[in-house]
Amino acid sequence: MRIFKLKIDFVYIAILSIFLFIYSCFIYALTSHNIAEAINDMVKGHILAKLFIPVLIAAALLYLVWKAIVRHIMKPVKKIAEIAEEITHEDLSARVDIKNPNKETKYLISAFNDMISRLESSFKYIVESNSYIAHELKTPIAIIRGEAEIALKKERDNEEYKKVISIALDESKKMLKTIEDLLLLTKMTYRPEFLNFENIDLNQFLNDIFEQSKILTAEKNISVDISVPEMSERVKADELSLRRLFFNIIDNAIKFTPQNGQIKIDVKYQKKKAIVSISDTGMGIADEDIPKLFDKFFRANKEKNRYASGSGLGLPITQSIAELHKAKIIVKSKLGKGSTFSVVLPILSH
């Protein structure tokens, strides 16, 4: 293999020498005071003797310099190729690390490393999703199966059969909700174009949410108040998904606020931003859990905090909707005193 490469090198040098020699002869003829004498020297071969060795040396040097430059340029590409061959679905931690790369190489390395990071995150998400789905669906299926097996062991009256069917229905609803939430998360991540953005009046939009929230809180006798500025602003949003965002937050507030508690919706407009804060008088959230609230499938220790109940997908969906609306969610909370979720939305210029 090495001999073959050397032969190739000699062929390249020979071709380069021929081109350089022809070019040298052309320049020699043009710069000569006596063109006829120059042509005669070339015909007799005198010029060959004068230029052969210098041209050969120049060709060899040019080829070696060119090869060194190519080798230097291809070094990071080769390194990337080597790492790409080593990467498997079991280990996506490898990254390209080359000291003092040039601008173009740095861009290539950065793009490659970013791609691997995205793949790593995607594979991690798939593994976590599979584990989570298996766990979440296993429990209701086991309950349905267990109830059905008990019911079939002996003859029972209609009320007992109705009870088994009711339990199976409840568990199947939980499974369906989990599947729907996962599909929605996937859709928002990979097909955000399904959203229909339009200009909406935020005060009117939030007043509608307030009226419906009063219906939802009636069972626990939780009071709901709203405070909005007199002058409204407009935002560009998909109304259905934005409603889901706010109702997810309000639903959590209702869930974790005790009987006779209070929920307040406060709206402020400042610096081309709309700040919608939803506060409750619930049990609050531990400081160490706040950064993890929007992680997919995160649920805090149930024994430590009862707010961990649920599928663990409501707030990740809320965060995804916020990102699609170029909004952000800020959470402040104190255990035993309640929580405040503030949604910061960009407003449309007048």
Q: Residue 206's closest CA among 155, 162, 268?
A: 268
CB atoms within 10 A of CB 86: 9
Same-domain pairing of 218 and 166: no
CATH number at residue 314: 3.30.565.10
Q: What is the rounded distance in angstroms from the CA atom of residue 173 to the CA atom of residue 311?
A: 12
Same-domain pairing of 32 and 113: no
Q: What is the rounded distance in angstroms from the CA atom of residue 307 to the CA atom of residue 300?
A: 8
Lookup: tokens for 59 = 């060709």
pLDDT on residue 305: 45
Same-domain pairing of 35 and 144: no
Same-domain pairing of 321 and 282: yes
Decide if 100 is inside a domain. no
Q: List the chain pLDDT tens, one digit each, 350 residues.
A: 555 455 566 666 666 666 665 656 555 555 555 555 555 555 455 555 566 666 666 767 776 777 777 777 777 777 777 777 777 766 777 777 777 666 767 777 788 888 888 888 777 777 777 776 777 777 788 888 888 888 888 888 888 888 888 888 888 887 887 788 777 777 777 677 778 899 999 999 999 999 999 999 999 999 999 999 999 999 999 998 999 999 999 999 998 999 999 999 999 999 899 999 999 999 999 888 888 888 766 665 454 444 444 566 788 889 999 999 999 999 999 998 999 999 999 998 76
Query: Parallel, antiparallel, or unpaired for β 262-270 and 273-280?
Result: antiparallel
Lookup: tokens for 167 = 């339990």
Same-domain pairing of 151 and 82: no
Q: Which position has the token pair 């998909």? A: 238
pLDDT on residue 209: 93
pLDDT on residue 213: 93
Same-domain pairing of 242 and 294: yes
Q: Which domain-ending residue is among 193, 208, 232?
A: 193
Is residue 329 within 8 Å of residue 341, measured between CB atoms?
Answer: yes
Give the structural domain span for 38: 2-86
pLDDT on residue 242: 94
Domain count across the chain:
3
pLDDT on residue 23: 59
> Does residue 283 sit in helix, strand or coil?
coil
pLDDT on residue 37: 54
Q: Which domain-ending residue is among 193, 216, 248?
A: 193
Q: Which domain-ending residue is among 193, 225, 260?
A: 193
Decide if 96 is inside a domain. no
pLDDT on residue 333: 93
Same-domain pairing of 174 and 243: no
Is residue 275 within 8 Å of residue 242, measured between CB atoms?
Answer: no
Is residue 265 within 8 Å of residue 236, measured between CB atoms?
Answer: no
pLDDT on residue 254: 93
Same-domain pairing of 238 and 313: yes
